[in-house]
Structure 1
Amino acid sequence: MLQLLEESRDELVAFRLAGSIDRHDYEVMLPILEEKIKQYGKIRVYAELQDAEEISLQALWEDLKFDFRHAGDFMKVALVGNRRWLDWLTVMASPFTTAKIKHFEVMEREQALEWVRRNDE
């Protein structure tokens, strides 16, 4: 399930993914990201992953296709959640983007938001 968070404003897209992530979640999220890219050129992404242990292959394919088209359109990506899951996502996403990607534990939510908004890194 995908939930857009109230922290989303300007070039920051903030969302929470919980439970099973499927193609429908990407069909909702990708147009939001594309609109922000059109509007701001480069964007920042804050993503909370809660119990997101299951991801469909079709959803992963949609994500990879999007990454190829928009490899240079991300400034920073903050991933918040389970360390094992985030380590995997960071490794998988890194070849497809020039963005700085950093993962944070759930208790570091505020630090993640601060980091993704900062212009100094």
Structure 2
Amino acid sequence: MKRHGLSIGIERTGSEFFLSLKAQGTLTHDDYNIITPLIDSALAEVKNPKVKALIDGTELDGWDARAAWDDFKIGLKHGNEFEKISIYGNKKWQQLAAKVGAWFVAGEIKYFDNEVDAISWLNEK
């Protein structure tokens, strides 16, 4: 049996958020039914939230069609709230996904092949 799903961490200091996500396997609509309300409620409490996100895609195989749509909707709803999104992974398509994702968020998105560089970039001013 292959594992799949999302784990999430949300830290808040004032109006600044640090969101960490680890994705495994092929994400489904059910995964987004769990994770989306957590993101929505965390960000709804703060006027003009500023979000930095670290996405670990090293175990991500992709999305099913409905989950891809769910991911797109999160980008449309919260795209202006993201300052930086750092994606680290180990698959060529993830680098392309980071470039496409940049069309839907106001902040910067960069792809890295290791976690240390991904975190260092997020912490740059």
TM tier relative to shorter chain: 0.7 to 0.9
Identity %: 19
Aligned counterparts of 1:110 and 1:32: Cα–Cα separation in 2: 26
Report the equivalent of 1:115: 121
Unaligned runs of 5+ in 2: none
- Runs of 4+ aligned structure 1 residues displaced above 6 Å come to none
Count residues in correspondence: 115
Q: Pick from 84, 93, 99: which aligns with 1:85?
A: 93
Aligned residue for 2:61, secondary structure, equals coil
Aligned counterparts of 1:66 and 1:45: Cα–Cα separation in 2: 13
Aligned counterparts of 1:42 and 1:109: Cα–Cα separation in 2: 21
Report the equivalent of 1:55: 63
Task: Judge which range, 77-86 or 32-41, deviates more.
Answer: 32-41
In the alignment, structure 1 residue 95 sits paired with structure 2 residue 103: yes
CA RMSD of aligned residues (A): 1.8
Report the equivalent of 2:11: 9
Aligned counterparts of 2:51 and 2:43: Cα–Cα separation in 1: 6
Aligned counterparts of 1:36 and 1:117: Cα–Cα separation in 2: 21
Unaligned runs of 5+ in 1: none
Report the equivalent of 2:112: 104
Q: TM-score w.r.t. structure 2 length?
A: 0.80
Structure having the higher Rg: 2
1:81 Cα offset (Å): 0.5
Cα–Cα, structure 1 residues 87 and 71, in superposed 2: closer, same or farther, change >3 Å? Answer: same
1:83 Cα offset (Å): 4.2
Cα–Cα, structure 1 residues 83 and 54, in superposed 2: closer, same or farther, change >3 Å? Answer: closer
